[in-house]
Structure formats: structure tokens, C-alpha cells
Structure 1
């Protein structure tokens, strides 16, 4: 019939329009963030192991359980799995594009690009830096607490960070298998040289 698009023509057209990507840059961006979070976990683990040994009361164990559940849901599930992690992977696909006008330093600082510290919407960049600042201030404040309370809060932080690391890796592997990024807005600025993912 006249005007009918042949089967598969749409998919072929999309594939032809897909920009070339550098897989090494993509992996560097995503796993650079994973390494950043893992470093945070490694620094806190010894503090937690030492501090939990000072728990003496049953209610303190109960406080630990509640804290772990709270951080798992708020930081791990809502913060990382539903927001941070898919954004990191989505922006990892973006920064890996071999766009002619894209600055080379974007590739060098791909992990920071994936987090959203630069080359994002104004809201995205401000939010990324604000969240990092708040986390830093919380860390400084928690250091002032005596054990076991410092260890209890840090244990919750570990759970949240581990959730984040795992969710990033899972989403990235899934994106490689499906050959497309997560359906999540990478929050690119209007003057970006990159092509937004079709799913965005």
C-alpha cells in the first residue's frame, strides 16, 4: 500500500541516527562513580566494626535495625535506585558520544559528568553540588558523635552506598545488554553538543 512504512524501516532509521560512542569513556564514567562510592564505603567500614562493639543495650540494637532500614529505603532505594543510579548510567551513555563539538575534558572528567557536577541543567548542577555539600556537612557532624551512635549512623550510610553501587552496576549491565540507556532524563543543558538518548 502507498505510504506504508516497511517493517523494520523505523528501527533502521533510529539506528542510523545513533551517534558513535566510545565504550571506554562510557565505562570510565560509570565505574569511576562506582569507585568513588566504594571508596566512601571502605573508609567507613573500620569505624563501624569498631563502634558496633560498644553496643551494650538491646534498644541500641533496635536503633541500629531501624537505622539500616531507614537508609536502605531513603538513601538506597529512593535516592540511588530511583534517581542517582539511572542518571549516572544515562549520562554515561551521553558523555561517551563522539560528538565533534564535545570538549575532550568532558571525557577526562566523565565520572564527574555522570554525577552531574557540570554540563547539566542549572537545577541539575546546583542540586548535585548541594547534595554533595550536605553530605559533607553530615559526615562532619556525625564525627562528633560518640560510639555506638556514630557507628550506627555510619552503618546506615554503608547500606545506602552499597545499594547505590549495586544498582549502578546492574543498570549499566542491563543497558549494555539492551543496547540502550535507562529511560531517565540525563538533564542536559539547551546548548549541549550531545544527542539526548531516545528514551529521554
Structure 2
């Protein structure tokens, strides 16, 4: 795709996704920080360190930086180039690949969303410190994802071509 600076629709879509990530980080951070005020066993410290490192790499780097974040901006660029009223109104969902995407992207995006919701429901049942340990890893992954999305957003504003396809039909 030819580089295109982000216009109003792309800005709305990308900023909407940024807000979703930011809300999750703000909501989970106090629970994650609560772990620091607790007396953790050596096993719990080990799980915390390994889990945070694992999430930083798998969720933050592989999931967000290499796939999700550039795809959000690539889809925002396509939305600007081919705006339709419904897609513009639902731009954050469009940019996340939840509407008007290839069959594979739709299936992947919706399965991820349902899986994440299921995990959130399950993690809410955990007692501290385990819930905080899980949330600490998630916060690190989301924070890396947020920084990554802002990075690609800035590149998109400058008109850069994203390193992943937009997966539009």
C-alpha cells in the first residue's frame, strides 16, 4: 500500500484503540502494584519474574509490536483511503480487525477477544498475590503494546508504510 498520512478516521480509530489499552493498564496497575506490598515466597517471586518476562516478550513484543500495533495503523491508513460511514463510526473496531477484515483476520481477532475475556473472568477469581502476579505480567505486556502502538501511530502520521498487511477484504 502506498504510504498515506493518517486523516480524521484513522486518527479516531487509532486513538480509540490507544484509549482501550490505556484504560486496561490504569485498571490493572493498582492490582499489580499491590503485589509489591506483600511478602512473597521464593516461588511467588520466581513466578512473578518469569511471568513478567514472558508477557513482556510474548504479549508485548511478539503480539503487539510485531503484529497488532502496526496492523492497527495499517488498517487506519486503509480506512482513511476508503472511508465508509459505518466503518468510520466504528473505527476502533475496524482498526482492531473486528469488522471488515479477511475471514482469517476476523476469526483470529474475535477468537482472541473471546479468549481474553475468558481469561479476565478466570483471573478475577484468583486471590492475591496470584492475581497481582498475573496482572503484573499483563500490565507489562499492555504497556509495551501501548508504547508500540504510539510508535507506529507516529510513523503512520508521517505516512510510513506499515510492516504488516492490513488484512482487509
TM-score in terms of structure 2 length: 0.92
Could you say what secondary structure the match of 1:188 adopts? Answer: coil
* Superposition CA RMSD, Å: 1.9
- Relative contact order, CA 8 A, sep 6+: which one is greater? 2
Higher helix proportion: 2
1:164 aligns to 2:145 (yes or no): yes
TM-aligned CA distance change 1:184 to 1:57, over 3 Å: same
Q: Distance in 1 between matches of 2:15 and 2:22?
A: 10
Q: Whose Rg is larger? A: 1
Distance 2:58 2:39 in 1: 24
Q: Do the aligned partners of 1:119 and 1:188 also contact (CA within 8 Å) in 2?
A: yes
For 2:161 and 2:18, the matched residues in 1 are separated by 17
C-alpha deviations, 1:28-60, integer Å up to 9, x for none? Answer: 111110100111111111222224423332332
1:89 is aligned to 2:70: no
Deviation at 1:150, TM superposition (A): 0.7
Q: 1:151 aligns with which of 119, 123, 132?
A: 132
Unmatched tracts of structure 2, length 5 or more: none
Gaps of at least 5 residues in structure 1 are 1-13, 190-200
Q: TM-score, normalised by structure 1?
A: 0.78
Q: How many residues align?
A: 169
Quick check: 1:52–1:152 contact (8 Å CA) kept in 2? Answer: no
